[in-house]
Every structure is written in structure tokens, then in C-alpha cells.
Amino acid sequence: GAVVSQHPSWVICKSGTSVKIECRSLDFQATTMFWYRQFPKQSLMLMATSNEGSKATYEQGVEKDKFLINHASLTLSTLTVTSAHPEDSSFYICSARDGKGSNEQFFGPGTRLTVL
């Protein structure tokens, strides 16, 4: 149980295009999902917290107009990197927390984004 998937697992795009990454909780309902970013040889940095049916809360320094987050259902959150640039190339990981009171987060396998 508690499986989280991400799609795609990797994507290569041209500078200036937008890329959408999906995060799904497969066997539980996730009232809260989190988006992290990881640069090579570095740890995970929280970008934003996504609550179903409401606006995401972004961490300081994260541009909300560049990283659009939608949590339209209890099993799906999407991160759209708009007008991507090479410096947006990174490993993006989502996690999900169920709505049953547990505080454990379950992590997806990550998406490698490369912007040319």
C-alpha cells in the first residue's frame, strides 16, 4: 500500500516550453501533496505544499507563476514548469500524505527534467 507514482519519469524539452509533471497516489487519498526539487549531489528542497481544492503554499524564493501547482482531486497533483530554462533542469520529487491523520509522507520515484 501507499504507492505514489510520477509521470513522466524523465523529460527533455526546449527552452521556453512548458512541462507538466503528474503525481498520483495510487491506493490512498492524499489530502496534501508536496513538491520537492533536488539538484545533483544536494538534498531535497521543499518547493510547495498542495492541498486538495485550494491554492498551493509556496516556499520562500519559489516563483509561483513559474511553478504552477494544481491539486484538483484527492489522488492527483500536477506541477507545471512554465517557460522552462536550463536552470530549471533538476530532479523533481513529489510526496503525498493520506487524510487519515497519519503524518507520514510517501514519495514518488521522481521526474528528471532536462531543459536544452
Q: How far apart are CB 89 and another protein at their closest, in Å?
A: 14
Sheet holding 76-81, edge to edge: 4-7, 19-25, 76-81, 67-73
CB burial of 96-114 (b: ≥16 within 10 Å; e: otherwise) equals bbbeeeeeebbbbebbebe
Interface of this chain with another protein, residues 79 to 108, rule: CB under 8 A: 91, 93, 95, 103-108
Nearer to another protein (CB atom), residue 66 or residue 112: 112
Q: How far apart are CB 78 and another protein at their closest, in Å?
A: 18
Nearer to another protein (CB atom), residue 34 or residue 88: 34
Residues 6+ apart with CB under 8 A from 84: 13, 15, 16, 17, 18, 19, 113, 115
Per-residue x/- track, 22-51, another protein (CB under 8 A): ----------x-x-------xxxxx--x--
Catalog residues that contact another protein under the rule CB under 8 A: 6, 32, 34, 42-46, 49, 91, 93, 95, 103-110, 112
